[in-house]
Amino acid sequence: MKFFESFSDHLFASAQLVAQLHRENLPTKFPPGMVAEVLWLDAAELAQLYGHTMTASEAVAYVQRSNPNHILLTILNGGNDRG
């Protein structure tokens, strides 16, 4: 069980970071594979859509289209806990 809890913590922290970068509209570019790994997204699809780099705002736009139940959107909508 602890193994899966650590993944949940990892995903939650990563989503918080991406949400903050999006809110601040920072144009920092990341490899799509890294974004996919930390947010549990489809790396091949992200690479096909965004090429070699993508921003946090692009990650948010992708999640809005592909997975409306993703924790990233919960955080952006004001939820800051997993309760």
24-52 per-position pLDDT tens digit: 998 899 999 999 999 999 999 999 999 99
Buried b (16+ CB within 10 A) or exposed e, 55-70: bbbbbbebbeeeeeeb
Can you tell me the distance from the alpha carbon of 75 to that of 18, in angstroms, rounded to the nearest whole number? 10
For the chain, the average pLDDT equals: 86
The fraction of the chain above a pLDDT of 70, given in percent, is: 87
Q: What pLDDT score does 5 carry? A: 53
Q: What is the mean pLDDT of residues 59-81?
A: 87
| Tens digit of each residue's pLDDT (9 = 90 or more) over 8-28 | 788 889 999 999 999 999 889
pLDDT in the model for residue 1: 40
